[in-house]
Chain A
């Protein structure tokens, strides 16, 4: 209780310190045109090649017949379940029966501990992108430019997973999510302001991330257009305010923000960051590039993947979802309640790239030149749907095939049963 009160007091002080009591000497405003988890790619080419980060390359494709066989199915049943001609296998939502491979055919998406940990291979290299969140240069990774103490256990845990791995802007996950953002699904604007005379070297710089209801606009080359105008849309959740300083154009946090929220470019959608910090560079071409980091809760990461339809995610990203659960639980490195508490959060950094934009106050009456909270202006809105596709327990219901009954409704045909030879090796 005492800790909660302290947190509340700190948040109040933090919000008050962002009140619009005086105008800034200078301000720069941007719109985010790309955001993705900061994942260092250690190979020289490709997107899944072996590299210093993952010596064997990205995690290999899963042998689903073998996995299902270990999950209590005969080989013929496993092959039939994976057969495209099987009517229970949806071309869009995958094979629901894959979920039921835990003990007593439990759904492993919602009960991952009913199946042994398949083992997710993590990053074994020393280099990572991100921020030194705990101020300790002796722990964590080394950044690509040599900075020590980078805290990014999210990367260490999931960095060899195909959906996350790849050079900047080329991992399959970030391509999908950013394409959605750039097509207008959501917009994040950034306001940077300071009181000094030189923005590049100012000991008092404020940074604010806000949502906007205005859609991103593309230019004639298909890129996000510069210098369009966006109004801040107050949001009860998605707002991230930081106090920092700039040195040679690089803005870093002076103190950690207790708690911020950003729209996450993932199926998780919501990114809560505790002890959050920024490291952002104001570039000569007017753009802004860098990181927002902090400790994020690990369970919503797993749940986001489950809600995106377990069979689809497993098949397309080459992963057994329970391994993600086990890996995140094992490596989570922060407890909000103190050193002895349950580690519910994991260190993380988001790579942000933003282009110049005009950002207006919520009523669009004037440019937003100072960083302040707009949460008090939030208007009540209808709640967004809980999951896409009507997902239940990680699966999209099929009216013809109740959960777990694919083999009863469509039994293994004779032709498949008699044609299944003894297994010689892999293949799915």
Chain B
């Protein structure tokens, strides 16, 4: 069906002798026949996110795995520690047997694993990466048209993120639902579906101030030495990003059919106990999902619990981290029972996170269908800080680019193959990823459409 209106059309008329106009909400006629794009060909945006949880999943040397499915390919069975993903199994691919390769560098416990996944390089020092995390590359590719290039959240309450452009300074996450709400829906937020949208005069003033000092900024750069130029460059990069945000905010935003501005959350608890962390994860996931639907950002990074997770079951004096190290393998069960129980509880957080993404209808599917989430941990067998068999999961359809619902199993291949796969699914212009023994140009084509 054709129409003389499109998604940017305004309904115009006269009222009391004055011209008036009204925006039109997003209608199905503005979508293409498949519900995958606007009718004028512009696609529904695809989003990307990373989701990290600490301490791996249970896989013991005597073969007591609690997460690796036995079936390879499509139709894998749901194992005990993947129970929380059962309802979304067809939208989730599981990767087993992949490892981080140290290339002679020592295993920096609770650090080398995820640093390798994100940066492609085994780090030399705890607390830093030897290269930027690849989510920043994706953010540069797809995050320029939104108010936030990326959003970082940390439901455990720790101010911790593994997203970094320099390897030294990491992004600052929102650590509570309230702070996330205020960041996204507080000052500067503009409802994309507001029919009475007007440029914010405060934003215009800020933009004009930055523009006014542009000449002086250039003069200053010319006057200072190299070290100061580096500092100024980092500072002005931040300013440029702010300018970009302001520019975006001065343009009328695209309407987003799925966007419904949420109500502010209540003041939640701040605690490391798993019930509180998971509760915060669910609330923050809901806010984040709507932030994505409202096109405030297209990239996010979530750290559910840090690598050396201090989460615990309320009332227990032992933390999860301690259980992974000191709990013996049960002779009859073949695995560590409390560690496995906690792993399942941690994965419950991930399951609920994905469910919130999948709860938002968008186009002919859900928000999760139009995104790719890479979930991963820092270690395989946490008891010995093993870098073998680090669990990695890809969830979401990525607008049809991810052939989800498969279990891909290898024996010792580099985790960077999955990182490369994620980047290529997202359309980042990257042909290879990683350094040294982890350098690869082989994405996992089985999961790529």
Contacts and interface: CB of A to CB of B under 8 A. Distances in A.
Contacts of B386: 179
B62 A84 contact: no
A315 B323 CA distance: 10
Interface stretch (A214-222, A327-335, A356-364, A399-407): A214-222
Interface string B369-381: 0000000000000
A220 B306 CA distance: 31
B336 to A, nearest CB: 11
Contacts, number: 88
Given A84-B319, A183-B107, A427-B317, A170 B326 contact: no
A83 B61 contact: no
Given A172-B325, A180-B107, A221-B411, A82 B319 contact: no
B271 interface: yes
A84 B386 CA distance: 25
B312 A84 contact: yes
B104 interface: yes
B322 A83 contact: no
Interface in B196-229: none
B383 A175 contact: yes
A316 B412 contact: no
B412 A428 contact: no
B272 A179 contact: no
Interface in B284-333: 306, 308-310, 312, 316-319, 321-322, 325-326, 328-331
Interface in A362-393: none
Contact of A170 (B61, B306, B312, B325): B61
A315 B385 contact: no
A91 interface: yes
A83 B317 contact: yes
A386 B384 CA distance: 22
Contact of B102 (A183, A316, A428): A183
Contacts of B61: 169-170, 175
Decide if the interface of chain A is mainly helix, strand, loop or mixed: loop
B110 interface: yes
Given A85-B271, A175-B61, A428-B318, A183 B387 contact: yes
A190 B384 CA distance: 26
A124 interface: no
B106 interface: yes
A417 B110 CA distance: 34
B388 interface: yes
Nearest to A43: B331
B103 interface: yes
A84 B310 contact: yes
A91 B412 contact: no
Nearest to A219: B412
B411 A220 contact: yes
B102 A184 contact: yes
A49 B331 CA distance: 8
A176 B99 CA distance: 16
Contact of A318 (B310, B326, B387, B412): B326
A316 B388 contact: no
A395 to B, nearest CB: 17
A55 B381 CA distance: 29
Contacts of B326: 61, 162, 315-318
Contacts of A185: 106-107
Nearest to B100: A183
Interface residues of B, number: 38
A169 B329 CA distance: 13
Contacts of A84: 272-273, 310, 312, 316-319
Decide if the interface of chain B is mainly helix, strand, loop or mixed: loop
Contacts of B387: 183
A79 to B, nearest CB: 8
B321 A91 contact: yes
Interface in B95-117: 99, 102-107, 110
B319 A91 contact: yes
Nearest to B316: A84
Interface string A26-60: 00000000000000000001111100000000100
Nearest to A49: B331
A169 B61 CA distance: 9
Contacts of A218: 412
A227 B61 CA distance: 24
Given A92-B308, A428-B318, A172 B107 contact: no
Nearest to A64: B317
Given A46-B329, A172-B325, A428-B318, A184 B385 contact: no
A78 to B, nearest CB: 10
Contacts of A92: 110, 308, 321
Which residue among A45, A221, A315 has the maximum number of chain B CB atoms within 10 Å of its CB?
A: A315
24 contacts: A47-B328, A61-B326, A84-B310, A84-B316, A84-B318, A84-B319, A85-B272, A92-B321, A162-B326, A169-B61, A172-B383, A175-B383, A179-B107, A183-B102, A184-B104, A184-B105, A185-B106, A215-B104, A220-B412, A221-B411, A222-B388, A222-B411, A428-B317, A428-B318
Given A49-B331, A221-B411, 7 more contacts: A46-B331, A91-B308, A92-B321, A170-B329, A179-B107, A316-B322, A427-B317
